[in-house]
Amino acid sequence: IAGRYADRLSTNIELPTAQSLRLLAPDKEPQVITRTMDMVSAAAPAAGQSTQLIVGATPERDWQIVNLAERLYQNNNLSRVYYSGYVPVNTDKRLPAPVPDPLAEAEGGRRVRLREHRLYQADWLLRFYGFSAGEILSPEYPDLDAQVDPKTGWALRHPEFFPVEINKAGYTDLLRIPGVGVRSAKRILQARRFNALDGGALRRIGVVLRRAKYFIVCSGRMLDGLRMYAPATLYRCLTARPASLPGGGQMSLFAA
């Protein structure tokens, strides 16, 4: 009955794996949680169903968490997965010590927030950008990068996909470009019906050129005199403080 009136219902998983549940929440069983989700889904609240995952209390890698989120979206009809970084509030020996975070460059509370932020970015790619969990992370690349967002991480691992020709690429290819969002991809498709687009037009459309310019060409030419760099060189350029790029130009620090 509640599902008829609530704008959202939540069935919290709390922890990513059955092993973690047995360790920290032995009263919860994965099968019961899944059945509850199916019941809630059938009630069809207006804004859907959500769940919450605590990350960092147990040693799951980011790829396990992102894969779980994908399964929940595909199999249990969830609208949102929320990620909450584990921060101990006391020293009770029964509580787990914080698991070392893959995003080791950040410290303290900022580290927890950064991991949450990266997981939300990966989640966004699943929900709105057509990425699969296996594209974002894998056992070979098990954790999200502290220095670059997940889409940029994918781009750096797939140099064969780039550069993308802005004036010819389809919608799904545009969404793969770092710095191009759903709204700006749609605007590109609309604007180029009338004129070929250049860097100025892309900036006005809302493309984040400090990221995108390394991965695109406009009518066959890269912007700002850039060229395609090897992934390792490009990573250094994109994560360094402003300094000269190889061959001229300025490095850009990726925005999150």
Amino acid residing at 95: L
Inter-helix orientation angle 108-128/150-157, to 10°: 70
Q: How confident is the model at residue 2 (pLDDT cuts 50, 70, 90)?
A: low
Total length of the chain = 256
φ/ψ region of 50 (left if φ > 0, alpha if ψ in -120 to 50, else beta) reads: beta
d(CA 255, CA 147): 9
Average pLDDT rounded to a whole number, residues 134-145? 95
Q: Which residue has the higher pLDDT, 106 or 256?
A: 106
The pLDDT of residue 96: 66
**Those residues with Cβ within 8 angstroms of residue 204's Cβ, 6 or more apart along the chain or in another chain:** none
Average pLDDT rounded to a whole number, residues 29-53? 82
pLDDT at residue 231 greater than cutoff 70: yes
Q: What is the DSSP letter of 125?
A: H
Q: What is the DSSP letter of 221?
A: B
Confirm if 21 and 30 have CB atoms less than 8 A apart. Answer: yes
**Those residues with Cβ within 8 angstroms of residue 27's Cβ, 6 or more apart along the chain or in another chain:** none
pTM recorded for the entire structure: 0.84
pLDDT at residue 124 greater than cutoff 90: yes
φ/ψ region of 182 (left if φ > 0, alpha if ψ in -120 to 50, else beta) reads: alpha
Domain ranges of the chain: 2-136, 150-239
pLDDT at residue 52 greater than cutoff 70: yes
Residue 146, helix vs strand vs coil: coil
Q: Which residue has the higher pLDDT, 153 or 113?
A: 153
The pLDDT of residue 190: 98
Distance set, CA 230 to CA 40, 157, 160, 163, 214 (Å): 49, 10, 11, 12, 11
Q: How confident is the model at residue 240 (pLDDT cuts 50, 70, 90)?
A: confident
Inter-helix orientation angle 62-75/108-128, to 10°: 40
Under CATH, which architecture does the 2-136 domain have? 2-Layer Sandwich (3.30)
What does the mean pLDDT of the chain come to?
Answer: 85
pLDDT at residue 97 greater than cutoff 60: yes
The pLDDT of residue 107: 47
Average pLDDT rounded to a whole number, residues 154-181? 97
Cα angle for residues 42, 44, 46 (degrees, 5° grid): 175
Residue carrying structure tokens 């010590």 = 97
Average pLDDT rounded to a whole number, residues 63-89? 91
Average pLDDT rounded to a whole number, residues 25-49? 81
The pLDDT of residue 248: 40
Q: What is the DSSP letter of 77?
A: -
The pLDDT of residue 247: 41
Average pLDDT rounded to a whole number, residues 138-154? 94
